Structures are given as C-alpha cells and as structure tokens.
Structure 1
Amino acid sequence: MATALVTSSVAANSACMRLPSMPLRLAPATISFPSRPWSAALTSCTGLSRCSDVVAATGHQKLMGSLTSNEGLRFGVVVARFNEVVTNLLLQGALETFERYSVKAENITVVSVPGSFEVPIIAQKLGKSGKFDAILCIGAVIRGDPTHYDAVANSAASGVLNAGLSAGVPCVFGVLTCEDMDQALNRAGGKAGNKGAEAALSALKFPAD
C-alpha cells in the first residue's frame, strides 16, 4: 500500500512539471528616452575629440601654460648628488630646455642635495619661499638592495607630491626609478630621451598665477 502511494505521488509531480513544447515568443520591447538639449551635438560627433570640443566650448574657462610666454617666470631646481653621473645629465637637459624656451639664467636657482630622499625637503622650502613659479625635482634611484630601493623611491615620489601640495607651488617629479645603470643612462640623454628635459618642459606648461 505504501509503495502505491509513493508511485502515485511521483507520477503526479511529474505531470505537474511537464511543460508544453511550444516556441517562446517575446513581445518586442519599446524603449523611449526623453530628448536632451545636447543629443544633437553628440550625435553629430564623429569621434571622441570632437565630442570633447563640443563640451569644452560651452563657456568653461581653460587655463594652461605657454611655451612662448615665459617672461619673468622663475624656477627652482633641486638635484640629488647621489648617482650624479645620471643626475648631472638630467640637470643639463633641464637647463638646456629652459634656455631653449627663453627662461633667463638669473631666473633659475639650482640647489644640490645629498640624495633623492632629501629632494622633497628642499623642494617644499623653495616652494614656500614664494620666489618660484615651479620647482623641478631631479634625482636617480637605481635598484640595489630591494628594500632600500623601494623605501627611497616611494619616499621621493610621495615627498615631492606633498611638497607641492603643502607649498601651493607645482613640484615636478623628475626622479628616475630604474632597475640598473644602463636603464638610467638611457633615460638621461640616451635612446629613451632625457627625462630632465621632459620635466622642465612640464614645468613650463603649468599655468602662471
């Protein structure tokens, strides 16, 4: 008797679980969006750059530095003596870039410090003096003892950032962090360019007060 009840129960459940073999038909969904005043402008854009131009042209004030109007601009340069075979080349590249863009030599102050770890300290001091429009921070950290490398590289990066935030003056990060001396030399005038020159160019592009 118990067996018959179980069998009938399973049969009943099986009947309930059967679904008719019919193709599923989904009604097409209609989605409408409210019109936007800028939709036509975005639709007419053929690329990201054109869209950006449309958005930027809606009355925003755009401030940027100039490579041709450097009259009276003053720059501080803090350079590390450690690994000076590299940092001297970076400094040379930076000074040549300033000269190329008509920054007068008397408007550039170069301060030498023992190493990259000390660069942010002087950068902050120069920034707070109120005498400079931007501070260029130059150094070279080359991997040796991994723990020492990481500590100095991280401290230099965060230190330069904090110096700029604290002083309210742009502090440009021109400290190389490289695996070996060959890599550093390649970035100090070798096949990878001169990062000191690039940092000086970045300093020139900051908008003046």
Structure 2
Amino acid sequence: MPLPTPVWQASLDHLVEQLVEPGWCVLPGFIPAQIARELADQARLWQQADLLTPAAVGRAGGAEVREAIRSDITLWLEPGMSAATDRYLALTEQLREALNGALFLGLEALECHFAVFPEGAYYKKHLDRFRDDDRRTISVVLYLNEHWQAEDGGTLRLYLPDGSTQDVLPELGTLVCFRSALLPHEVMPAARERLSLTGWFLRRGEMPW
C-alpha cells in the first residue's frame, strides 16, 4: 500500500542519509497511527490465541530459549497471515527498494516477527548479525504502544560507536533502523506490556561498506 505523502518521503530520505552516517535513525510517526493500531490489535489477537511462543537465542538448529538473555514472546510473519500484516510488509517492501536504490545494498528479503514483552521482560545487550551468517544488514523495528511514558521503561538502548548510548521510547508508529553489524543494543525491562514488529533486511553478495 503506497504512502504518497511528502512527510513520508522526507522521512525516507532522512533515513537513507542517516544509515550512511551515523548508521542509525529514529523516525517518530513514520507509520500512520491507524496502521500501527491495527498491527497492535492483530498481535493481541494472536497472543490471545496462544500463537506466540518464547523467543529463542541463536540460529536454526542451534536456537534455544534462554530467558536469562531474553524473555519476550514472538510470532514470525509470512505473507497472507492478515490484512494488517500484509499492509506492513508492503510498506517494508517500499523501504527495501528505496534503500537498494540509494545505497546499493543488495537487500533481497525481510524476516520479521511480532515481539511482545510482558511486564518485566527484557532482551540483554546483543548484535543482530550472527557470527556464522552475515546476511542481516539493516535492522528495522516498528513500535506499537499507545501513550508510552519514560516511567514505563522498555526503552531500546543503542550502544553507539563513540561509547555513548541512545535510549528510544517504544512509542506508537516510531520506526528505528540501524546497521545490524554496527550497533549492539538491548531492550530494558518494561513496566507494562510492550509490542513491536522487529525485522531484518537480508542482503545478497558483498557489503558496500
């Protein structure tokens, strides 16, 4: 579904610039609130149907649930699961095409899941790129939480190359993108349920940077 608005296009242009340097970008309101609400409603429906499962750490056959590292529950997305998620996947396809067109990244696919953090849940500091698989290139996180306040916790903490940190509130419609191999990050414990859509654009071939 296209978003032919000057504001969205300007945000997209800014995102492309920021991914080159400093390698990360936070875009409040990048996704319209109504679309974000529909996604949150869909996540809760699937949660009520017990379709979300404890998140694992690691890849493929080596993946295992380790609650000392992360304690969220997740559901991987595929096309055709719901109208709301198909709409979001269409938007991320536009984003993929824009990144390829501007930065020649060779991004060819998105892997993505709902992540629900119950009260008190967290995800310890980590990198998104696996040691034995370097295809994850750009991490993409969309937040789905109405009226989130600083006292609710659950911030995304980015560990920047200069040694500083950047905390991001998981507010409705905010999109965060960063280079998967560049920024360690963690999810701080949440004081109430926290919803997001977390994904990774996968590349083909060699990185241009």
Say whether the fold is shared (TM-score over 0.5): no
Q: Which structure is higher in RCO with an 8 Å CA cutoff and minimum separation 6? A: 2
Larger Rg: 1
Q: Which structure has greater helix proportion?
A: 1
